[in-house]
Amino acid sequence: MSEPSRRLRLAAHWSLIAVATIAAASAAAGAEFASRSSEKIIVLRGVTLIDGTGAAPRPNATVVVEAGRIRRVGGPEVRTPSGATEIDASGKFLIPGLIDMHAHVTLGPVSVEVVDGVPSMRVEYDPAVAPLSLAALLEHGVTTIRDPGGDTARTIAVRDAVARGELPGPRMYVAGSVIDRTPFPGLTATFDTKEELRAEIRRQAEAGVDLIKLYVTLTPELMAVGVDEAHRQGLPAVAHTMMTSWTEAARMGLDGIVHILPGSASLLPEDERAAFGREMAGTQFMFTWFERVDLDSAEIREMLAALLENDVTVDPTLVMWETMMRGDDPTVIESPRLDKVAPSLLENWRSFFTMNIGWSPEDFVRARAAFSKALAFARLLYESGVLLTAGTDANNPWVVPGPSLHRELELLAEAGIPPLEVLSIATRNGARVLGILGKVGTVEPGKTADLLLLRADPVADISATREIEWVMQRGRILER
């Protein structure tokens, strides 16, 4: 193996998403939710409606929910049907249920052994993780998620348990095992030949996954094979790319990119590439890439053009990078929100597994300085017309299911994206990418009544998405 490849494999070990497994049979644990209202018709009056379409907020709106669906959206003139429950929502704000496009809800602790200087990592199984994660997501207004990678059978089992109503949680769209060249039992599916790569994708398709997740050590040749086979199976392909640049991935038809870190030397100015290649031994490359990139360069302009021409979507997961770059900050690693995390995971993070293993104090200082450039990159993607979604990488170290999505929205706003657009990114755009915009993602007649009632205005301050009065899922108002 060449030295650059060895370094990349080593970096991939430390940057692989820490996801584990759960069987549907373990779904009895976790928080319980009750319906505050069992009536078939609920009428919200006087609410300020932010419908997710990007339209301006609509004050003094009336929304009628019947049998789990939005039946009518109007103003004060809308009459309350006989027998309906009427809710005075004056002074409140109604938005669609949030969509986390990168939530790993089946996670266990990560262990490691080092063989010949190369770490070999494994995800352990903890049946308590999924129920706790799903409950935390619902509690924080997340009614739909995309889970982009975990043990195929167990992740599908959780999705199906939620769909059958056996486990409270957001509706789920899932990938199977992440497809990569790096062994990581409990997370990745590896292969030696192109036919084995195709065969793994066919196995996942037959098992019933909703998408295929490709990963960082796939060369352009292998990435193209993976995308082609996913499409042959009628499935979208998303990837965290590195050995394949964003430009190359877009041109081969990749549907979506996850994480805002391109990490490819070919996207840097030519005089920065060799030095960057020498920095690939640990996760420090995640900030040194931003130190070296020129966002006004020809390489980046070419990349943006390829993304737009091929309708490639990007899920930035800014909050994941922020928690990594602030991994020495007590406000992150001692946050009271960590009570939403499964105890086994929290112990694992505190005792061993983080995304910044081996970082020096200087590394953290440099990382935080580089993060401003990551925010600028997110704004550049948005202003260039690239379709963004909101995801978190939940259940990676310090990324808490539920609260982390609200932080992601704050970071998108800090990047310079208007709050009204941030709300559409977290609702309409996610539904569009999942292919379910006809069902959810906006507040419009005929759609499923996944709604979030807020006590403050998220257009004035995006942090108001945290001020949740209640969550409605399929027409039922949920209480913890």
Is residue 5 over pLDDT 80? no
Phi, psi of 434 (to 5 degrees): -80, -10
pLDDT band of 26, cuts 50, 70, 90:
very low
CATH at residue 464: 2.30.40.10
Give the total number of structural domains in the chain: 2
Q: Are residues 331 and 408 in the same domain?
A: yes
Amino acid present at 114: V
Closest C-alpha to 100, from 132, 53, 148, 157: 148
CA-to-CA distance for 178 and 241, rounded, in angstroms?
12
Question: Among residues 128, 185, 181, which one has the least CA distance to residue 152?
Answer: 185
Adjacency order of strands within the sheet including 142-147: 98-100, 142-147, 171-174
Give the model confidence (pLDDT) of 59-97 as tens digits: 999 999 999 999 999 999 999 999 999 999 999 999 999
Q: How many CB atoms lie within 10 A of CB 414?
A: 16
CA dihedral 323, 328, 332, 335 (to 10 degrees): 150
For the record, the structure tokens of 365 come out as: 């200082």
Same domain, 347 and 454: no
Q: Are residues 291 and 178 in the same domain?
A: yes
Longest dimension (CA), the chain: 74
Centre a 10 Å sphere on the Cβ of residue 188 and count the other Cβ atoms it contains.
25
On whether both 341 and 454 belong to a single domain, the answer is no
Which residues are CB-neighbours of 204 under 8 A, at least 6 positions away?
Answer: 152, 175, 176, 177, 189, 212
Question: pTM of the prediction?
Answer: 0.92
pLDDT for 464 beyond 80 = yes
Structural domain containing residue 39: 34-97+441-479
What is the model's pLDDT at position 480? Answer: 61
**For residue 374, what pLDDT is reported?**
97
Taking the C-alpha atoms of residue 429 and residue 443, their distance in angstroms, rounded to an integer, is: 13
The helix/strand/coil state of 241 is coil
Same domain, yes or no, for 469 and 322?
A: no
Are residues 381 and 304 in contact, defined by beta-carbon separation less than 8 angstroms? yes
Residue with tokens 């030397």: 265
